[in-house]
Structure 1
C-alpha cells in the first residue's frame, strides 16, 4: 500500500505521508534528485510483455536489437531515438505484447510478436567433428550466434530464443520461426500499463496516441496521481486541451507517412524529462527525425500560447520550441500565470518529490515531533532550498521563508514555505535613444 500524499484542504488525513500544497503568492541534509526519467507505453514487435521494463540510454544504444528487436538505426526505432536524445531512463511497456511467440522445429522466440517471424535457424555438420552440429541463429540476414553441440539438449538459451531441448538435430539450410503475432491495442491495454507504472518514479509520462478517449484516460490518471497520490510528474500528449499544469499539450503534428501524427511526443517527453530544474526548453532546437508541421501564422502562434499549447516553429533554418508552456489556461488566486510555465512546475515538483523523500526516509516514524525534531526538519528544508538558490532555480530565498510547526495533532507537522521561482528570459524590450 502506498503512503499518503497529494494536496490538503484541512488537516484530516488518515494515511501517514506528505501532503503538499503549492499556491501563488499574493501580489502587493537534503539533496536535489536527478531528472531524465520518462515512462511510455509502446507498440512494439518485440520485447518483454506484461510488465514495465527499464531501459537506460546506454542500453538503448548498445542493446536495442536485443531489447526491441531492431538495430539502433532501424526505422522502427525512430521514435525511441528521438526520446533518447535527452532521456536517461525509460520505463517502457508493450501495449501489444499479448500475442503469440513465433516457433519452429528447434526453437521458440523468447518474446511474443511479429519480429520473431524474422528469426531463422541454420544447422550444419561440424567440419572437425561429424558427431556434432553447428547450430546458428539468424535475425534477418544477421547471424546472432553459433553453438556447436552434439544434441539439442546442450543448446543454451539466449536473448532471442528458447531452444527445444528434445528436438532431433539435423542439417537444414534454414528454418524460419513462424506464428509470431502482436495483440491488439485498446483502452484495456493502456489501463494495464497505468496500473503497473503507478509505483515508478519518473519526471514525464508520454503517450503517443491519436485516440481522444485514450488521451482523456491519461489526463485523468495524471490529475489523480498529482493531486491525490502526490506523485509529481507531467504528462505529454498531442492535440488535447486539458487546462491543467500537469499536462503538456503538443500542438504540432508530423507530416511523416505511416506514423502517428502525435509522434513529436517522443522528443518532447525526452527533452522535458531531462530538462534541469533551473533550465527551460524554450527555444530549444528540435534535432529529431520527424518532420513537424510548422506552417502557422504569427497570429496562430500567439493563439497557441494563449491556449496552453506547446508549439514548434521555424526560426531561420531551425525548428525551435516556441514556448515551454503547459496546458493551464484558467488562472485563479491560488494558481497564477507563473503556473503556466513548465520551469515553474519543474521547481515545485522537485521540491515536492525531494521533501517527501526526505521526510519518508529520515523523519517518518523515527524523529520525535518535538521542538528539536521540528528544528531538524526545518534545517534540512532550508538546506535543500539553498541548493535550489545556488543553481538559480529560485531567488531571494531566506531561511525565514520556512516555518515548521506542530499540526492539529501531536503526530503531524505543518511546513510553511515561500519561494520565488526563476524563469528563463523570454522577451526583450529595449528603448534606444538616438542623439
Structure 2
C-alpha cells in the first residue's frame, strides 16, 4: 500500500504514492515550497484558550466535532468551512478567554465555553456487576450523540479522560440516567487578545493571515504587524483585513460584506484561504466564490473601477455567479522603486515564494555549514538557479536564464551578496481587440 498521497504543484515529495497538485512545507532543498497555509483568530464556543491550534483539512473533515465541538455541517463552523475552501492547513486561535468550564458531579468539560453545556453523562450498571463488586458503564454524550463509553469501571478513578471531559476522580460514582454539565461560559474578546495572537504567530510560517475584526484599530494593528514581519523580520505573508486601505503590498482589503449587513467581515475567512491557497503560478482574478454566504455585490461599474483604483479586493456579479473582481492588494503609491506590478497578488506570491524558499534553503543548508569560498558560492548559485528554473517551468516567471543570478562575496568574509533578476508572470485579465470589417 502506498504511503504518500494528496496534491502537489512541484515534484518535491518524499514518500511513494500518487500526488496531484501540492501539499508539503518548505524544506532545505532548491525545490519550491507549497502554499495553502493560513492562520486566523476566531471567537469560539469550544477549544483551548491562549493556544494555537494546527488543523489540517483532512482533520477538519473527519474530526471537526472533536476539535471545535460541532459537527462539520453546524452553523457555528461556517468560518472554518469558508477558510478551508482553499487552505490546506490553518493555525486557529481562540480569541475569547477567561471562560468557565461546564461541570456536573462527575466531570468538567475539557475546555471552557457554552458548548460544554451540551454535554451530559449517563452511568448505568455493568452486566458483570455483582452485589459484592459493583461495576458501571459510563457514557459521555454531546447533544444526542454518544462520544465516549467506558465499561466495567468500579470508580471514577478508573476512567480515562476523553476528548470532551475530565473526570473528577475524587467524586463518588453512582447510577444516573442523564446528568448535564452546566454553567459553561465563553468569556469575552478583549482587544488585547489580538495582540496575544500576533505575538504567538511570530513563531509560525504561513502564507496568509486573516483579521476577522471590523474595528479599524485592530485592522491597523494587523497591517502594522504584517509590514514589520515582511520588512524587518523577513517573513513573507499577506494579511487580509476588512476595509483597511493600507497602501501596502502585504495587506489585502476586502470591501464587500454579506447581504443585509453594512460592516460584517464574514468574508475574511474565505479570502484568507484564497490568498493562502492560490498557487504561485495562478491568479484569483475571476475566481468563483464557492462559499456559503450571500454577498452584497450592489456596486455600479464606476464604483467597481474606483474600488480597483483604491486597492480594494472586491466581488461582483457575472450572470448567476459571484466572482472575484481582481486579485489585488492595497498598494497604489507607484514609485520608481515599486511599479504597479506590486499591486498584483500573483506578483507578490512569486516574490514571496522566492524570498521564503531561499531563506529556508540558506538557513538550513548554508549558514554555518558551507565555506564562503568560490565553490561554496557556486553551490548557492546553482541552488538559486535550479529554484528559479522550476518557477519558470510552471510559468510563474519568464525570460529567466542563469545569467540573471550572481553570487559574490560581501564586505566581510561571512557575507554573500546575491543579485537576482526575475520577471513574474500574471494571468490574462484584459483583452484589447480590434476587429476590421471588410
Equivalent residue for 1:100?
A: 100
Equivalent residue for 1:80?
A: 80
* Alignment equivalent of 2:297, drawn from 294, 314, 317: 294
Equivalent residue for 1:189?
A: 193
Give TM-score scaled by structure 2 length.
0.91
Gaps of 5+ in 1: 1-28
Matched, 1:345 2:381: no
Give the CA RMSD over aligned residues. 1.3
Separation in 1, partners of 2:230, 2:295:
30
Separation in 1, partners of 2:59, 2:376:
43
Query: Quick check: 1:97–1:113 contact (8 Å CA) kept in 2?
Result: no
Equivalent residue for 2:208?
A: 204
Separation in 2, partners of 1:381, 1:127:
69
Q: Which has the higher contact order (CA 8 A, sep 6+)?
A: 1
Separation in 1, partners of 2:207, 2:192:
24
Equivalent residue for 1:249?
A: 253
TM superposition outliers: structure 1 runs of 4+ over 4 Å: none
Query: Quick check: 1:204–1:269 contact (8 Å CA) kept in 2?
Result: yes
Equivalent residue for 2:219?
A: 215
Equivalent residue for 1:22?
A: none
Gaps of 5+ in 2: 1-28
Equivalent residue for 1:407?
A: 410
* CA apart distance, 1:164: 1.1
* Alignment equivalent of 1:277, drawn from 263, 272, 280: 280
Query: Quick check: 2:289–2:324 contact (8 Å CA) kept in 1?
Result: yes
Matched, 1:89 2:89: yes
Instruction: After TM superposition, list the pairs within 5 Å mapping 1:40-51 onto structure 2.
Output: 40-51=40-51
Equivalent residue for 2:116?
A: 116
Query: Quick check: 1:45–1:113 contact (8 Å CA) kept in 2?
Result: yes
Separation in 1, partners of 2:229, 2:98:
27
Query: Quick check: 2:37–2:89 contact (8 Å CA) kept in 1?
Result: yes
Query: Quick check: 2:52–2:92 contact (8 Å CA) kept in 1?
Result: yes
SS class of match (2:163): coil
Separation in 2, partners of 1:395, 1:432:
30
Query: Quick check: 1:256–1:290 contact (8 Å CA) kept in 2?
Result: no
Question: Residues 256, 133 of structure 1: CA spacing in aligned structure 2 closer, same or farther, 3 A cutoff?
Answer: farther
* CA apart distance, 1:127: 4.0
Separation in 1, partners of 2:106, 2:190:
34
SS class of match (2:90): strand
SS class of match (2:110): strand
Matched, 1:385 2:388: yes
What are the Cα deviations for residues 217-257 of structure 1, in whole angstroms up to 9, with x where unaligned?
Answer: 10110010000000000000111111000000011011267
Query: Quick check: 1:311–1:321 contact (8 Å CA) kept in 2?
Result: yes
Separation in 1, partners of 2:430, 2:126:
72
SS class of match (2:323): strand
Instruction: After TM superposition, list the pairs within 5 Å mapping 1:130-141 onto structure 2.
Output: 130=130, 131-141=134-144
What are the Cα deviations for residues 368-405 of structure 1, in whole angstroms up to 9, with x where unaligned?
Answer: 11111111111111111000000000000011110111
Separation in 1, partners of 2:403, 2:136:
77
* Alignment equivalent of 2:268, drawn from 244, 265, 271: 265
Separation in 1, partners of 2:263, 2:253:
15
Instruction: After TM superposition, list the pairs within 5 Å mapping 1:224-235 onto structure 2.
Output: 224-235=228-239
Equivalent residue for 1:166?
A: 170
* Alignment equivalent of 1:152, drawn from 152, 156, 160: 156
Give TM-score scaled by structure 1 length.
0.91
Separation in 2, partners of 1:266, 1:205:
9
SS class of match (1:199): coil
What are the Cα deviations for residues 324-375 of structure 1, in whole angstroms up to 9, with x where unaligned?
Answer: 0000011111110100000000000000000001111111111111111111
Separation in 1, partners of 2:369, 2:107:
54
* Alignment equivalent of 2:323, drawn from 320, 324, 346: 320
Separation in 2, partners of 1:343, 1:146:
51
Separation in 2, partners of 1:400, 1:134:
73
SS class of match (1:98): coil
Equivalent residue for 1:419?
A: 422
Query: Quick check: 2:115–2:184 contact (8 Å CA) kept in 1?
Result: yes
Separation in 2, partners of 1:121, 1:72:
23
Separation in 1, partners of 2:361, 2:157:
53
Separation in 1, partners of 2:175, 2:208:
51
Larger deviation, residues 77-86 vs 170-179: 170-179
* CA apart distance, 1:272: 1.4
SS class of match (1:53): strand
